[in-house]
Every structure is written in C-alpha cells, then in structure tokens.
Structure 1
Amino acid sequence: MNKAEITVLFDQMAPDYDSQWANTAALRNCMYMLLESMFFELPEDAHILCVGAGTGAELTFLAQKHPGWRFTAVEPSAAMLAICQQQAEKQGVASRCRFHHGYLESLTTTEPYDAATCFLVSQFILDERERSLFFADISHKLKAGGLLASADLASDTDSPEYDVLLQSWMHMMSVAGLSSEALEYMRNAYKHDVGVMSPDRTAAVITAGGFALPVLFFQAGLMHAWTARKAPNKRV
C-alpha cells in the first residue's frame, strides 16, 4: 500500500480501533511497562516525539506517568489523530501535547527531542532503504544521544518457525474478535502490505537509520520492540 492507501485504511479503522484491540491490551501494557524502564533516565522536562501516534495509547500512558514531559504526536490519519487528541483531553494532558496531522517529513521543529516512540509504523514501509531513511528522519529530530523505542512485527518469514508463530498470532487475533474474513485479510496483508523482516534485519535497518546498538527489549509472538540511541556521529 502507498501512503494515501494507508491513510484511508486507518481513517476507516479509527472509530473501532481501540475496542477492536481491547482484548490484546495485555501485550501493549507489558510493552509499555518495559518502555517506561527504557526511558527511566530521561529528564523531568523531556520532550517526546510519538511517530504514528494513532489513538494515543503510548502518549497518554507516558503523560500520566510523567507530569513534566511534553509530547508531539505525529499521525497522518486525521480520524486517528482526532481520537488521540480527545483521549489526551480526557486524561488532562492535552496542554502538554502538540498534535501534527501529516507524515514525519512534514513536521517542522526547532527543538530537538529527547526520545521518540514508533510503534507498528515502520513495518508498512516495504522498501528497506526507505525504511532506513524513515528512521534517519527520526534520528535527525533527536538530541545527541536521544532514545528511540520502536516496535514492529518481525520474524524470519522463510523459516518453519514463522508458520508456527503466524498461526498462533492468527489465533490470538481471533480472540480479539476478528472475523474469519478479517483474519484472512490480515494473513494476505502480512504477505503483501507489511514488511515483516527477521529481527536481525529489522535491527540492521534501525542502525542504518542512524542509531547505535538496537536492543530487543520486548517480544510477544510476532511483535518485537527495540530501543536504541542516536549514533554519536549523527547530528540534528
């Protein structure tokens, strides 16, 4: 899918997105708990860039935990961003947030960020070079030594293990209330529209984007999450 198609898809999914995935909240909550430990040493007035913020789950989680942090939510789907803003207002954290409708390259800022989150976003960039350039854009917006937390679906799709993990993942999605038609759509999407790469290749793409030592800090089924620092030779 191209950018326009992805945006339309998430605009359509937005009204039911949170309720559809409510049954898989345990995975997200575990990742967020570990995310907080990865960001533990950030300053009390940290500014966080949330790339592909969606409905704002990680933004509101971190904002509630850290009352001095500020956030910039970047989201190309207007419908998803509207829900993100509504959630931030509901949680009383909207005054510390900037909501940017568009892709990352359209974000202009004069202040580099302390850290960035990017959850289930880069997997939609199928070309590996373009995916590295996406991470490079994040890197350019971070302070020296700034932190990245990135999560994507990852597996060696040529391995027999992938078939086992995929089947298990599909079973979990069916528990989340997806119809058989929706599950078949997802299976096909993972083949054609989602850049599922091995964990090693995914880490290499992050490194090529200007980050040092991507460390896998979370895995649940196909979902993997890495943390990495902006490489010393990369400047804002």
Structure 2
Amino acid sequence: MQDSHSHFANPAAIESYARDVPLRVPGLHDLHRMTMLLLAEEASETAHILVVGAGGGMETKSLAEAQPGWRFVGVDPSPAMLNLARQTVMPFADRVDLLEGTVDRAPDGPFDGATCLLTLHHMNRSEQMHTLRGIHRRLRPGARLVIANHSAPGPDPDCWMTRTAAFALRDRPDWAKAAAAAKTIGQRLTLLTPPEEEDMLREVGFVNIGLFYAAFSFRGWVATANNGNETPTQG
C-alpha cells in the first residue's frame, strides 16, 4: 500500500500539511473532538488506541490532550509524515508509539478503540478492505472504530467535491477553479458512495454503523467490532 501514499513523500506537501489540512477539512478540530467522545463512550480512562494513518499527528495530539490516561500506537507508511507526527505529539511522546508501515505493522492488540481519519480515500477498494479487516482483527469485541474520509454522496458527487474545493480556496468562490481542483482530487482518490462505505464496514465484521459527520464531500462513521453475539444495525 506504500504507493497509495506517494503524495506524502512530496516535501512540499509535508511542509504545508499542518497549515493546510484545517483549511481544507470543514470542522477538523471538532471532528477530532467528536472522535474522542465516540471512543470514550466505550473505552476506559486507560484505553489503548490504534491510530491508522497517524502521519501528521494532529488527531493523536487532540486525543492525547483530551484523555491523559490513553496510550496510542500509530502507523503510517510515510516516513516524512511520521517525522511530522513525532514533532506534533512530542509533549505526549511517553504515551505514543509511532511505527512506519500499514496496519499490518501494528501490534495484535487487542486495542480498546481505533481511528482512521482522512486515510482510506488514498487507497483502492481492495486496500481499504484489507485495512479495515486488519483494524477489526486488532480490536477487542465491542471496541469502536471511527473513520472519516472523502466520499461520493449522491445525487451529484462531482458537485459536492467542487464545493469542498471551493471551501479550501478560502477566497471569493471561483467555481471554475474549484471544479478543476475537484477533478484533480477525484482522479487521485478512491471515492465510494456512503452505502458502499457502510457495506465495507459491515462486510469485515463491524456492527452498529452510524454516520456522525457530514461536510460537503467528507463523511465520517462510527462502528463497533462485533463480539459474535450482535445483530448488525444502523445508528
């Protein structure tokens, strides 16, 4: 899956990541707080959390600040992004273990919760399935996973991606420029519809799948690792 993250080998992309991502993702800081709350409903005050796609370190920093008893293992295939994460989480370094690689590099756990934010859309569908299976296998029964990424909501996915691109431009709307940017983004990423995203989670064994975040083309879900006795439901 290393090639899926080749964009994050670009030094310019790494340098601008921490500055640009909050401008491109509506409500990013609130997304991080919602993620913490969703995990904390089921995780103890001393939980061990798996962070898949931990490069940059922003969500790990946010979770560590809010939950001083939580410990973290983060994995990311980009060495440069992991270096940035190490700088970001430096005040919490004694509670954060960052590993270079995909989910396959993560310890077996079991973990008390997991996140995969702004990551899955960089993978093709087969890689997404592999990643979700790897996360599920490492979670204790009943633990929660929180994901968020670009999606392809209907009835006009291109329109939603153009709105996302216009949001990121931060100037007066230039719809031609936004449409061109949206086309480039769409060509680079794997965009699944919300039902396809939920089907993947269900297929690998997650239950109680609920949409909790929607912002233009972005969607976020919370799901629970099946303990073998639960019937899949929504919400």
TM bin (shorter chain): 0.7 to 0.9
Report how far residue 11 of structure 1 moved: 2.0
Q: Does 1:188 align with 2:184?
A: yes
Q: Does 1:123 align with 2:124?
A: no
Conserved in 1, the CA contact under 8 Å of 2:2 and 2:77? no
Report how far residue 34 of structure 1 moved: 1.7
Q: Does 1:175 align with 2:170?
A: yes
Deviations 1:96-121 (A, max 9, x none): 010101111123x2531000000121
Runs of 4+ residues over 6 Å off in structure 1 = 179-183
Structure 2: distance between partners of 1:70 and 1:136: 22
- Residue type of the partner of 2:38? M
Q: What does residue 216 of structure 2 align with? A: 221
Residues 26 and 202 of structure 1: CA distance in aligned 2, closer, same or farther (over 3 Å): closer
**Same amino acid, percent of matched pairs:** 24
Report how far residue 175 of structure 1 moved: 1.6
Conserved in 2, the CA contact under 8 Å of 1:44 and 1:66? yes
Aligned pair partner of 1:114 in 84, 92, 112: 112
Q: Does 1:134 align with 2:131?
A: yes
Residue aligned with 2:40, SS: coil
Structure 2: distance between partners of 1:100 and 1:232: 28
TM-score (norm 2): 0.86
- Residue type of the partner of 1:117? T
Deviations 1:37-92 (A, max 9, x none): 21232101100100001201110001001111000110111011001011111xx1
Structure 2: distance between partners of 1:76 and 1:6: 9
Paired positions, count: 224
Q: What does residue 207 of structure 1 align with? A: 202
Bigger mean CA offset, 220-229 vs 5-14? 5-14
Conserved in 1, the CA contact under 8 Å of 2:33 and 2:63? no
- Residue type of the partner of 2:103? L
- Residue type of the partner of 2:58? A
Structure 2: distance between partners of 1:17 and 1:166: 20
Q: What does residue 79 of structure 1 align with? A: 80
Q: What does residue 102 of structure 1 align with? A: 101
Structure 2 gap ranges (5+): 230-235
Q: Does 1:9 align with 2:1?
A: no
Report how far residue 149 of structure 1 moved: 0.2
Residue aligned with 2:184, SS: helix
Report how far residue 152 of structure 1 moved: 1.3
Report how far residue 183 of structure 1 moved: 7.2
Structure 2: distance between partners of 1:132 and 1:233: 20
Report how far residue 25 of structure 1 moved: 6.2
Q: What does residue 33 of structure 2 align with? A: 33
Conserved in 1, the CA contact under 8 Å of 2:211 and 2:220? yes
Residue aligned with 2:27, SS: helix
Conserved in 2, the CA contact under 8 Å of 1:155 and 1:222? yes
Q: Does 1:149 align with 2:150?
A: no
CA RMSD of aligned residues (A): 2.5
Deviations 1:9-45 (A, max 9, x none): 1021211111123434651112122222212321011
Q: What does residue 52 of structure 2 align with? A: 51
TM-score (norm 1): 0.86
